[in-house]
Chain A
């Protein structure tokens, strides 16, 4: 395996940056540290400011507020040319008037690299990305996947300190996507380039990134590794956004009776462990209870039944292949449960289920922040 770069690893620090377009606040008060050699994903719905953040790191946009540091150097005022970042754009942005070869060679030509060396490097990258057959073509003659590789090659060939990828796989079909996902991950591991990967596909982010920054409406929601994000979502947005099928979120209030704590909705009542109950009750009474579909267990034939079991009516059963997704109604509240496929259920049937208490999430209804 060729080593394309020297051993310079760059740490990126976003120090309280904001970007406003007139009245639109595309990004607000973002603080983020990306360690050298780390693979970080920006995850969030459309329009949440992911591309804007990338363009600020690249130097295309100047932050309205805040600083950007590469290692310990303040690069906020540096134009892109002086930052040595590589970027794959959402639209690929291949130069239509240049061949694939010239597209990839472009950053090197601008650096005034000697001709033979350009040739060597372009061919090296082309081989690495398996596009060495396409070097003479124009971008218009390429398929989506090929274009994406060319764009990646163009970003890699200059041996960037930081690699920025803006939804590079969004235009590909599902199969190619999985393939390229693995390939990008492998490349990043081998080249050890500090990488930021923008996506709105959570599976992509979870499977590739060391850490994930979840954004919404220009604000950072949570910045953590995939496991933490999944197991300990910091707020309602993250809880609802991460995980598929999504977490069940049920509005209700905390009540106390005779020293026992209950989560109570207009349709059912659920006993909480004492420690959780008292913790939550000390903060607020209006809460939202969150539980992932896989953390609910259906009780069949009364086996493993307990006093905290809830009774509901089966509404719809959706087979997902490996699992069943059971939609259960409890007096108007809909709950989704993931169950093994060997259960037979009919619509309208009454069932009992229990919640794994260790995996319970409770959020403050007013602030949306997680309490536990």
Chain B
């Protein structure tokens, strides 16, 4: 092999395994999702499809999208509402609450050890394996064994406010959904924000203090404005991942019965992506489920392009960097 050629080839040789794996795990399913969204693939023509991708038992059709957009599936609009509620409320926990939390932990608390304890505490939901996190919540909200109702009672909540089941009673179930995902999201926001706060030059904060700012004013006038990009990053990133996340909902509500369908619908926590999942793996309507997913894929791709535009490459890679 001529030297020049081998030099050109070498990087691609190194990259080949990665590209192969990415093709298998990302590209092929992406393309396939697009294709499946336009088919009527379901349980009775699935085997034929597996044997031959071009079998005439699977028909190309626009029915799926008609069902979604023309409300032929009556449940779509409710799913949509739940999803919007879910994304907006968890997002505000992630981006806004986590911000105040991080300022409290990384700035207001001056004692290193205390600050460390709080940080680790708030990190736990994120590093705990999902199923254990779900298990602990299922225990915590249990009206007989758990402590949530007791805790609320202690804080003075009247008895008839407390539900007999947090899992089933709307809107308690929906509040619970926000809490479960909110704690995990708050962890994420906290990691990014605390790193950013730590990277603010101490002199800036000292200067503000000398200029006559109280701790709160430092937070509002100095820290938060400097955290502009990290806040935007957390918001953007979480929007995307919330749109498609359903793992915790599945673990907690799906646990009632069968394949993932569980009691999510009656509890009012059926988000879009879980609905798609349930359509595929509980009702075996693969084509329709793919169409539902495809909508998320399109939103995801659009958002990613948008983010590249807004942030630029550099800021996406260093989310915790503060520009001073």
**A residues whose Cβ falls under 8 Å from a Cβ of B:** 55, 58-60, 79-81, 84-87, 89-91, 93, 95-97, 106-107, 110-111, 154, 158, 164
Closest 7 pairs (CB-CB, A-B): A93-B207, A93-B203, A107-B211, A110-B212, A80-B209, A97-B225, A87-B210
Complex formed: what's the CA distance from A257 to B225 in Å? 77
Partner of A81 from B206, B209, B323 at Cβ < 8 Å:
B209
Query: Knowing that A89-B203, A107-B212, A111-B212 are A-B contacts, what are 10 other residue pairs whose CB atoms are under 8 Å apart, sorted by A's residue number?
Result: A58-B210, A89-B206, A91-B203, A95-B222, A97-B228, A106-B211, A106-B213, A110-B212, A154-B211, A158-B212
Number of B residues with CB within 8 Å of any CB on chain A? 20
The distance from the CB of A154 to the nearest CB of chain B, in whole angstroms, is 7
How close is B229's CB to chain A, nearest CB, in angstroms? 11
> Contacts A89-B206, A91-B203: A96 and B323 contacting too (C-beta < 8 A)?
yes
Residues from chain A with a CB closer than 8 A to the CB of B203 are 89-91, 93
Task: For residue A156, give the distance in angstroms from its CB to the closest CB of chain B.
Answer: 12
Most buried by B among A85, A90, A93: A93
Q: Which of B206, B217, B225, B228 contacts A110 (CB 8 A)?
A: B217
Is A110 a contact of B226 with CB atoms below 8 Å?
Answer: no
CB < 8 Å neighbour of B208 from A55, A85, A95, A111: A95
B206 touches A93 (CB 8 A): yes
Most A CB atoms within 10 A — which of B206, B212, B228? B212
The reply to whether A60 and B209 contact each other, CB–CB distance below 8 Å, is yes
B74 interface hit (Cβ, 8 Å) = no
Whether B206 contacts A96 by the Cβ 8 Å rule is: no
Residues of A within 8 A of B225 (CB): 97
Q: Is B221 an interface residue (CB 8 A)?
A: yes
* Residues of A contacting B201 in the complex (Cβ-Cβ under 8 angstroms): 91, 93
Most A Cβ at <10 Å: residue of B203, B213, B221: B203
Taking the closest CB of chain B, its distance from the CB of A63, in whole angstroms, is: 16
Is B214 in the interface zone, CB < 8 Å from A? Answer: yes
B residues apposed to A, CB below 8 Å: 201, 203-204, 206-214, 217, 221-222, 225-226, 228, 323-324
Report Cα–Cα, A87/B213, bound state, in Å: 13
What is the CB-to-nearest-CB distance from A49 to chain B, in angstroms, rounded to a whole number? 16
Bound: A58/B209 CA distance, A: 9
Contacts of A90 in B (CB 8 A): 203
CB neighbours of A93 from chain B (8 A): 201, 203-204, 206-207
Residues in A whose Cβ lies below 8 Å from that of B211: 106-107, 110, 154, 158
Q: Is the CB of B212 within 8 A of A80?
A: yes
Please determine whether A106 and B221 come into contact, CB atoms closer than 8 angstroms: yes
Give Cα distance in the complex from A179 to B214, angstroms: 35
Contacts of A97 in B (CB 8 A): 225-226, 228
* A80-B222 in contact (CB<8A): no
Other-chain contact of B210, A86, A91, A95, A96 (Cβ < 8 Å): A86
Would B210 and A60 count as touching, CB distance under 8 A? yes
Do residues A89 and B323 form an inter-chain contact, with CB atoms below 8 A? no
Q: Which residue of A lies closest to B212 (CB)?
A: A110
Chain A residues with CB under 8 Å of B207's CB are: 87, 89, 93, 95, 154
CA distance A58 to B204 in the complex (A): 14
What is the CB-to-nearest-CB distance from A294 to chain B, in angstroms, rounded to a whole number?
40
| Contact assessment for B226 and A96 in the assembled complex, using a CB-CB cutoff below 8 Å | yes
Please name 16 pairs of A and B residues whose Cβ atoms are closer than 8 Å in the assembled complex, sorted by A.
Answer: A55-B206, A58-B206, A80-B212, A87-B207, A89-B206, A91-B203, A93-B201, A93-B206, A95-B207, A95-B208, A97-B225, A106-B221, A107-B211, A158-B211, A158-B212, A164-B210
A86 to B213, CA, bound (A): 12
